[in-house]
Structure 1
Amino acid sequence: MLEQVSARVWVTTSPTWLTTSSVVVADDGACLLVDPALTPADLVSLQGELTGRGWHVAAAFSTHPHWDHVLWSEALPDVPRWATPGAAVASTDEELAAQAARDLPGHRWDVVGGTTPLPPDTTELPWTGLRAAVVATPGHAPGHASLHLPGEGVLVAGDMLSDVEVPLLDDDDDAVDAYRRSLQRLADVVASCDVVVPGHGRVADGAEASRRIDADHRYLDDLTAGVDPLDARLGEPRVRAEHVAQAARLGAERR
């Protein structure tokens, strides 16, 4: 279930939307979970695998306030589940649960939401494991942040730098410009990374991540120009539908 991508980082990917969860493991076996997902059964299996390896969950981080990135389970322990201040207050637990029931029905969700806001201007997660720098990357969702593990050369990018999703924008009027600034910020981080983990899609090396950054810039150029992008990621019907909706929204704003 878990794939090792660096000395102390493992990932697991759900077949649904290629949703990726990351596990950062300290020397003493303490684990930081980043965006654990996707179904309750997935979370139970994840906890079982961690226990089987002699590891224990010490903390968690949610990159942004979309339901598939704020999940938890009764099978997992009661530990700090951090998010940025903007992400932690963006949606109520009831709204998140309703989104989950709509998008992936048929599951009994133990816990969804309930993240704890980090103190304002926090730059590193306050856990006892290896250094985890919080990188503000707005544009996709309120309070969206990526997690940089400089000691491992790993970037956990949240819902950015995907090979299966185009840039999906939040509803803020500044979303396109904010997304561009975030891409530039991530480009600076990627320059020192060997591994980039997107929230949806396949793990990339630094060169592939740079190609994805270029592709995301091209997509945003076409989107804002009102041109239908030539982007292979739009071949997936769900992603195409998201693109059509945001293109229509931006077109209405220009009018």
Structure 2
Amino acid sequence: MTETAGIHALPVTVEYGGRAITITPAVVETDRGLVLIDAGPEGTVGSLETHLTSLGYELTDIWLVVLTHHDGDHVGGLAELLERVDAVVATHREEAPYVSGERDPIKGDGDRYPPVGVDLELVDGVRIPTLGGPMEVVATPGHAPGHVSLYFPEGNLLIAGDALVADVGEGTDGDGPLDGPKPHFTPDMDRATESVGSLAALEVDHTLCYHGGYVDQGSERIREIYERLRE
């Protein structure tokens, strides 16, 4: 995927919302084992396990799950995963009530995923040591109130979550495929635009999006997206 050591994209095609979608969780190697970035919707665990086996790991090597936000396609499979893995669950403090069931998800028809307790509430600027260098939490609200992205300054790699997308097709602007968040799924586009501006200030050479996967584009393209969203 990338020259950044110890970081692996795990593309999975699943049925979600009545259609097939391809999502891209990721795992990051650390001295303690694996950090999983987003768990995917219900029914994803088997595919994650297959990916990890191909990398020489087991599902039980996951010790930490970092959730970029509370949407069902990112969290729905977490309860199933935790039936097999004893892992710490971390997300931004503004996302925690939705994950734990104290609040219903902002998006969706009320048929929520199984709630899961949050062990660790993240804030902007927190750094987690990994084999790819420090993984920095970057607050990128807008798509969800406490959405976060993850930045690896030693490899200039950004794991964007849904703050950016790389779906090729309708809505792609300019020399894509990297683009801004999808307005239809983003309740607060003004905050989301500010978040793209925060990402544009980082030194990014390549980007991993949950929707669209790995893109060999970074700061220059993100700045273009930010300027367009501000118009």
Instruction: Name the TM-score, length of structure 2 as normaliser.
Output: 0.72
What corresponds to 1:184 in structure 2?
197
**C-alpha separation in 2, matches of 1:95 and 1:61:** 20
Conserved in 2, the CA contact under 8 Å of 1:10 and 1:22? yes
How do 1:40-79 and structure 2 match up within 5 A?
40=43, 42-51=44-53, 53-54=56-57, 56-70=61-75, 71-72=77-78, 73-74=80-81, 76-79=84-87
Greater helix percent: which structure? 1
Deviation of 1:162 after TM superposition, in Å, equals 0.9
Superposed displacement of residue 142, structure 1:
1.0
Which of 4, 10, 14 matches 1:12?
10
> 1:46-125 to 2 correspondence within 5 Å?
46-51=48-53, 53-54=56-57, 56-70=61-75, 71-72=77-78, 73-74=80-81, 76-90=84-98, 93=101, 95-96=104-105, 99=108, 111=114, 113-118=116-121, 123-125=126-128
Amino acid of the structure 1 residue aligned with 2:93: P
Please give the alpha-carbon distance, in whole angstroms, between the structure 2 residues aligned to 1:219 and 1:61.
28
For structure 2, which runs of at least 5 residues remain unmatched after alignment? 14-19, 172-179
Pair 1:91–1:35, CA change in 2 (3 A): closer
2-structure distance, mates of 1:155, 1:140? 17
Answering whether residue 167 of structure 2 is matched by residue 156 of structure 1, we say: no
Partner of 2:17: none
Which structure has the larger Rg?
A: 1
Q: Any runs of at least 4 consecutive aligned residues in structure 1 with deviations exceeding 6 A, and if so which?
A: none
CA distance in 2, matches of 1:212, 1:18: 22
Q: Which residue of 2 aligns with 1:23?
A: 27
1:50 aligns to what SS in structure 2?
A: helix
Deviations 1:95-143 (A, max 9, x none): 45x949969xxxxx7x554333426566224x67642111011111010
Q: Could you tell me whether the CA contact under 8 Å between 1:67 and 1:100 is conserved in 2? A: no
Aligned-partner residue type, residue 24 of structure 1: V
CA 1:120/1:187 → structure 2, altered by over 3 Å: closer, same or farther? closer
Cα distance between partner residues in 2 of 1:62 and 1:180:
21
CA distance in 2 between partners of 1:43 and 1:89 (Å) = 23
| Alpha-carbon offset, residue 218 of structure 1 | 2.4
What's the secondary structure of 1:18's corresponding residue? strand
- Is contact 2:28–2:34 with CA below 8 Å preserved after alignment? yes
User: What's the offset of the Cα at 1:92?
Assistant: 5.2
Task: Give 3-state SS (helix, strand or coil) of 1:54's partner.
Answer: coil
C-alpha displacement at 1:193, in angstroms? 2.6
Q: TM-score scaled to structure 1, two decimals?
A: 0.66
Instruction: Write the letter of the residue equivalent to 1:44.
Output: G
User: How far does residue 156 in structure 1 lie from its aligned partner after superposition?
Assistant: 0.8
Name the % identity.
Answer: 25
CA distance in 2, matches of 1:19, 1:54: 20
Please, which runs of 5 or more residues in structure 1 have no aligned partner? Answer: 104-108, 222-255
Q: Do 1:5 and 1:11's aligned partners in 2 also have CA atoms closer than 8 Å?
A: no
Q: Is the 8 A contact 1:137 1:146 kept in 2?
A: yes
C-alpha displacement of 1:33: 0.3
Decide which structure has greater strand share: 2
The one of 124, 132, 136 aligned to 1:133: 136
* Contact 2:165–2:210 (Cα < 8 Å) also in 1: yes
**RMSD of aligned alpha carbons:** 3.2
